[in-house]
A = this chain, B = another copy of it.
Amino acid sequence: METREKLPKMSTAQIIDSEQLLNHWQGHRSLTRRLIDLYPEDKLFTFSLGGMRPFGGLVKELLAIAGPGIQGLATNEWKELDEDLASLDSKEKLLEAWDRTTAEIDTWWPRIPVERFQERITAFGQYEDTGYCTLLYFVDNEIHHRGQAYVYLRELGIAPPNFWER
């Protein structure tokens, strides 16, 4: 295994500001939206590889996290995660929910106290971590599942958008 030495305490100067982090997340969400839009409707809830969830199920997870997650970060009041979202049973409904969530994120984001990012929080009443780690988890989890969807799309013979187009 790799070993890493403990580093001396480094500068705390600004790396990324709140609006930049918001735009980073929304940029990723905009790319994911294009994958949903491009995905063949009849495969959305059925096609899978390696026994993994179909893309529609992954999108539901992302929706279950993002909207309630941004409200939780803003208010520090958390409800349990509900990934079922059974009513979102078509591409149109997924896209509508996606766009509602995009607006929710824009609305709630400025209400996150900046100190929250360095506080310990318990997201969804069960995932304890620092605020910035929680937010980065939301983003990284989306990139991860979207990476899966790139493979699904290629296997379905469809060229996905370039990863760097946000």
Compute how far the CA of A2 lies from the CA of B103 in the bound complex, rounded to whole angstroms: 9
Compute how far the CA of A150 lies from the CA of B52 in the bound complex, rounded to whole angstroms: 10
A11, A28, A30, A51 — which one has the most chain B CB atoms within 10 A of its CB?
Answer: A11
Specify which chain B residues have a CB less than 8 angstroms from the CB of A33 in the assembled complex. 2
Complex contact B52–A151 (CB within 8 A): yes
Q: Pick the residue among B17, B24, B115, B156 that contacts A12 (CB under 8 A).
A: B17
One digit per residue, 1 when the CB lies within 8 angstroms of any chain B CB and 0 when it does not, for chain A 127-166 equals 0001011001100110111111011111110000001100
**For the complex, would chain A's binding face be called helix, strand, loop or mixed by DSSP majority?**
helix
Compute how far the CA of A115 lies from the CA of B163 in the bound complex, rounded to whole angstroms: 27
| Other 8 A-B pairs with CB < 8 A, given A20-B132, A49-B49 | A2-B30, A9-B19, A14-B117, A28-B140, A50-B153, A52-B150, A143-B143, A148-B151
A residues contacting B by CB (< 8 A) are 2, 4-5, 7-22, 24, 26, 28, 30, 33, 49-52, 98-99, 102-103, 106, 109-110, 114-115, 117-118, 130, 132-133, 136-137, 140-141, 143-148, 150-156, 163-164
